[in-house]
Structure 1
Amino acid sequence: MDAVSDSRPEDEGSRGHGERRLPLLQLGRPVRRARPGRECPHCDRHNVGRPARADAPDRRVDHHAGAVSARLLQSRPRRSYRRCECRMEGPRGVGQFQHRLHLPSRRWQGGDQRDRAVPDPATSAGGMSGGGPSGVRSQQLVVRRKVRRQGASFAVGLLVLSLGPAPWSLAQPAALTEHPDIRLFLVAGTAEGPIGRDALGQIGEQWRAGYAGIIWDMARALRPPGPQMFRFFSLVDFLQQQTGEQHGADLARWKEWIWEQPYDPHPDYGFFKGQWYSQLDPGFAEFFPRAVTSLIRLDEVEWGGVGVNGIPPLEYPMHLEVGEAGYLADDHIVFGITVEGEARAYPKRILAWHEMALDRLGGVELTIVYCTLCGTVIPFESVADGRRFTFGTSGLLYRSNKLMFDHETRSLWNTFEGVPVVGALAGGGLRLTHRAVVTTTWGEWRRTHPETTVLSLETGHRRDYSEGAAYRDYFGTDGLMFQVAKRDDRLPNKAEVLVFRPDGSAQTGANLPLAIAASFLQRNRLFHQEFGGRRLVVVTSVQGANRVYDAQDVQFVRQLDDAQVADQSGRAWRITEDALVLDDDSGVRRVRVPAQRAFWFGWYAQFPDTRLIH
């Protein structure tokens, strides 16, 4: 940090005898020197959120304090992070991915109707400085400290986060005065030496256990090895002093302890998260404006290793007829979807690199979400409550499950449930309509759907689309890439389960979320189960593809082949993507019920009250 002298003339009438102006320290730059000055007792005060007076020009501080440098957040993680450019995993510092966020995106079918203005990137903490109407001062956080050395008094620094007027002002609202100013946490995470320690001291004076998640977020970005290791250990020591817990540098154990505590966060925790992560990508700040509504624990939201849309969605990708898809072998995994009689296959080898596809099928706009970390694919209709949403990948995770966002409001959505959980839409009752999908092989899908189309390798992105290339190491082990609060060892972490969640809010007894092990269904290929007030039947093919139907009063007893099942009266029913259809009366149908596969750990982390059948 450079010490910058304020050269404006002093108003002698406004200062005590011998008072000297302290230097301005700009965040993100090294301190080169500290100016000596006379002892000034009132300079030990810590002025938090005090605006500069418009009628005292000599008290005005520089409106152009620098941004928190992204270099301060660089580290060398000890575990793998996802990558967005041709490689999905590998150790890397958080600052190394910034130039990999913007990838070429060619638009295909329907692309001419999708052009839209992308909002300007959110302003980061330092980028908010200055500006504002005439006569309006920027709100400032001031941390002052005097240090004695050999009888002389030295001004160590004046650290200022200088920000523009509302709505992006960082000034602490009066209603939050019982909490430390949120800017103190940013100072504690970025400032060296006495300034950082002084910020921690002020936080400690009003400490609550709910602040531990903020300290953890900063410690994660600063963990050694690296030049920021002293700040890391300073944060860890502070956490031990405030909580009485002795977990040292073990961030995983700290996270477990934090999740065991009642959730009582700082009211500006979301805003802090946006500002902290904005040093990685300014777009993160748009998800967390001041006083943002959140329906989930923010200490369970973490950076997923990529920027906003750093894993680029496919937008109306090109598709091929069956005879043109020579790149697929019969045993390759595809996700099959049929809407209004139109069938399409989305190969895992392609979708795993993009984790989302915006498409139109059977005249219906779809957002197909693939969370590779938790192993689930869910097709949602893109229109909810009469509003059409365009979704993207936020780069953030909740319980190791990707959070998607809508471009219209920048709200974050839970992809398991299709509901907004952070932002302007959270709590408004919106829920996306879930469409059915089946995980199967290309050979089985094309035999039962000879009219199907399938994605082309010409996606507009350069990737290794060979079978199994994406996430090979992750899919090949039972280890996790990100920590979750709750796990269950009745099944391996990545054992596949077929999952159901009731639509209603009452989730008790037989209406609890349900998971059925895929291995169990392979052994019981015709399985009846009561769920959500309905009598369901799960039909599993020889290749392991699961389809669920509302059986109502019909008892199905055996499979005749992969295309038909028989009921207890001996009647044959055809298996289709929309329904089980009675052979001798096509008007008698048992409709399909949407369900999807997931890794056991990912589903259990989201819904720990799940009933498991295995």
Structure 2
Amino acid sequence: MERTPIESAAEKFLTSIGAANPESAATALDWIDANWSDELLPYFIEIYRFTQDTPEQRKLLKLLRKKIGQKPTKNFERFNQYVWSQDLTNSPDYAYFKQLVHRGLDPAFENYFTPDRRFDIRLDEVTWGGVKQDGIPPLRQPAMIPAADADYLAGTDVVFGIEIDGEARAYPQRILAWHEMFVDTIAGVPLVGVYCTLCGTVILYETSVDGTDHELGTSGFLYRSNKLMYDRATQSLWSTMKGKPVIGPLAGSGIELPTRSIVTTSWSEWRRRHPDTQVLALETGFDRDYNEGVAYRDYFNSDDRMFQTPFADDRLEDKEEVLALRFTPEGETPVAISASFLKRNRIYEDEIGGQTYIILTDASRANRVYERPANLGFVAWDKRQTATDHHGVKWTLTEAALTAPDGRTLERLPAHRAFWFGWHGAFPDTVLIK
């Protein structure tokens, strides 16, 4: 694809810095100054991020200040916020430029950004996360052990629990935080569990769609502080939060991974409910400190973000947890519910787009969502196993459904925890219940 003169000048400036050719860089920058277009802003934000404190970087900083009217600052985030606030269209050649900037970090990145690829998200909001492709290694078909053998776990340790067709498994946060993804098969169902530590989400998807099993991994890139997955077959980039491809050959294909239920709870509570559960073995094949709370300790203990998002919403603190409901009908506004609100309201009933539901929060603060007929309400919940409806019928909680003595069932609905800023970044029009 033939590039415009200004795009060629941006490339020349970048390569001149890499070749330590200040004269060539100065010539390119002078031409850019005289022929400025705001569409060039994303190019130079990329260059500014990856250049050292050189005379060329300082000249670039001066030019950026001049063009966007910012006060003197080396604040990379301020420039990003300005760019994201503009109604800019990323040209196809910007993909080539992004490829040029990043391919030296990992040859695999060259596959992500080519001018002929479809982009369903703003490319200038796609940020390198600081690692190579699968640089945070997923656990693929990891070894599991019986609960009785998991003496490395304390009862208070956080686990992510799954049960499918009676087969229960637990994935401890202390292990998964180092890997951020597991690929597994439970009861014959191929699954991927994606734990985005940055935005606090752990989401469970089926990987098979229309007979194709998508082999997913960690791309090394983020979108609004939420990790992007990739698939090995096409190197398309996938939204973790939405479970669908957003960049590459599969973008716009209509593929969307089916969501499964997963619960965040304590090891003691999960084991009480599922004494025959399997749990991740501590021997993963990787050398990591898997002690509780080690991974991302400083990040989890502050409200600071590691990466930016274009939007801010002060209805909650950035890292306050919400329960994200994943069964919103097409066309309806997404809904998130404050975890603190659910702690205060252990039985919560509501409706989305005609789907009535109930959320039960147990003693470990684990949230489970079930379908509910509009004419059925619940009046009591023992925070362990039994919920009582307004007719006095006692329903038993399982991972799959609420079950009445007469055999009636209320099926589980998919939901997961997330940090408020992460969910809001993906769904800025979300309804918040707090």
Pairwise TM-score range, normalised by the shorter structure: over 0.9
Residues 471 and 513 of structure 1: CA distance in aligned 2, closer, same or farther (over 3 Å) = same
State the partner residue of 1:186: 14
Partners in 1 of 2:328 and 2:382 — Cα distance? Answer: 33
Q: Give 1:503 shift.
A: 5.3
Partners in 2 of 1:485 and 1:339 — Cα distance? Answer: 37
Q: Give 1:483 shift.
A: 1.6
State the partner residue of 2:425: 605
Is residue 44 of structure 2 the alignment partner of residue 210 of structure 1? no
**Residues 437-448 of structure 1: pairs in structure 2 closer than 5 A:** 437-448=262-273
Is residue 417 of structure 2 the alignment partner of residue 590 of structure 1? no
Is residue 153 of structure 2 the alignment partner of residue 328 of structure 1? yes
Partners in 2 of 1:467 and 1:566 — Cα distance? Answer: 36
State the partner residue of 2:245: 420
For each residue in 1:449-507, what CA deviation from the matched residue of structure 2 results, as whole angstroms up to 9, or x when unmatched? 1111000001000111111111111111111111221122222211111012555542x
Equivalent residue of 1:240, what SS?
helix
Is residue 111 of structure 2 the alignment partner of residue 286 of structure 1? yes
Q: Give 1:377 shift.
A: 0.4
State the partner residue of 2:347: 526
State the partner residue of 1:574: 396
Q: Is the 8 A contact 2:318 2:420 kept in 1?
A: yes
State the partner residue of 1:359: 184
AA in 1 matched with 2:392: G
Q: Is the 8 A contact 1:418 1:432 kept in 2?
A: yes
Is residue 368 of structure 2 the alignment partner of residue 547 of structure 1? yes
**Residues 3-152 of structure 1: pairs in structure 2 closer than 5 A:** none
- Cα RMSD between the aligned structures? 1.7
Q: Is the 8 A contact 2:61 2:74 kept in 1?
A: yes
Q: Give 1:267 shift.
A: 2.3
Partners in 1 of 2:118 and 2:28 — Cα distance? Answer: 27
Partners in 1 of 2:286 and 2:219 — Cα distance? Answer: 19
Q: Is the 8 A contact 2:193 2:204 kept in 1?
A: yes
For structure 1, the residue ranges without an aligned partner over 5 or more in a row are: 1-171
State the partner residue of 2:76: 251
Residues 603 and 211 of structure 1: CA distance in aligned 2, closer, same or farther (over 3 Å) = same
State the partner residue of 1:107: none
Q: Is the 8 A contact 1:349 1:467 kept in 2?
A: yes
Partners in 2 of 1:178 and 1:387 — Cα distance? Answer: 43
AA in 2 matched with 1:578: A
Q: Give 1:238 shift.
A: 2.3
Work out the number of aligned pairs and report it: 431
Equivalent residue of 1:268, what SS?
helix
Equivalent residue of 2:190, what SS?
strand
For each residue in 1:359-409, what CA deviation from the matched residue of structure 2 results, as whole angstroms up to 9, or x when unmatched? 010110111100000011011111112211111111111111100100010
Q: Is the 8 A contact 1:486 1:605 kept in 2?
A: yes
State the partner residue of 1:116: none
TM-score, normalised on structure 2?
A: 0.95
Higher strand share goes to which structure? Answer: 2
Q: Is the 8 A contact 2:130 2:220 kept in 1?
A: yes
Partners in 2 of 1:249 and 1:371 — Cα distance? Answer: 29
State the partner residue of 1:455: 280
Partners in 2 of 1:373 and 1:578 — Cα distance? Answer: 29
**Residues 424-435 of structure 1: pairs in structure 2 closer than 5 A:** 424-435=249-260
For each residue in 1:264-295, what CA deviation from the matched residue of structure 2 results, as whole angstroms up to 9, or x when unmatched? 22321122112211111111111112322111
Residues 265 and 205 of structure 1: CA distance in aligned 2, closer, same or farther (over 3 Å) = farther
Q: Give 1:202 shift.
A: 3.7
Q: Give 1:188 shift.
A: 5.5
Equivalent residue of 1:405, what SS?
strand
Is residue 310 of structure 2 the alignment partner of residue 485 of structure 1? yes
Higher relative contact order (CA 8 A, sep 6+): 2
For each residue in 1:163-217, what CA deviation from the matched residue of structure 2 results, as whole angstroms up to 9, or x when unmatched? xxxxxxxxx42xx547633633533653532211222334445532122111011
AA in 2 matched with 1:539: L
Q: Is the 8 A contact 1:190 1:196 kept in 2?
A: no
Partners in 1 of 2:267 and 2:389 — Cα distance? Answer: 29
Q: Is the 8 A contact 2:219 2:230 kept in 1?
A: yes
Partners in 2 of 1:316 and 1:397 — Cα distance? Answer: 25
Is the radius of gyration larger for structure 1 or structure 2? Answer: 1
2:231 corresponds to which of 401, 406, 429: 406
Q: Is the 8 A contact 1:497 1:517 kept in 2?
A: yes
Q: Give 1:536 shift.
A: 1.2
AA in 1 matched with 2:37: R
Q: Is the 8 A contact 2:42 2:124 kept in 1?
A: yes
Equivalent residue of 1:592, what SS?
strand
Partners in 2 of 1:489 and 1:188 — Cα distance? Answer: 43
Equivalent residue of 1:331, what SS?
coil
Partners in 2 of 1:177 and 1:578 — Cα distance? Answer: 57
Equivalent residue of 1:180, what SS?
helix
Equivalent residue of 2:59, what SS?
helix
Partners in 2 of 1:513 and 1:200 — Cα distance? Answer: 45
TM-score, normalised on structure 1?
A: 0.68
Residues 566 and 185 of structure 1: CA distance in aligned 2, closer, same or farther (over 3 Å) = farther
Residues 384 and 254 of structure 1: CA distance in aligned 2, closer, same or farther (over 3 Å) = same
Q: Is the 8 A contact 1:334 1:345 kept in 2?
A: yes
Q: Is the 8 A contact 2:13 2:25 kept in 1?
A: no
For each residue in 1:205-252, what CA deviation from the matched residue of structure 2 results, as whole angstroms up to 9, or x when unmatched? 55321221110111011143xxxx212112212223333444442222
Partners in 1 of 2:317 and 2:207 — Cα distance? Answer: 34
Equivalent residue of 2:198, what SS?
coil
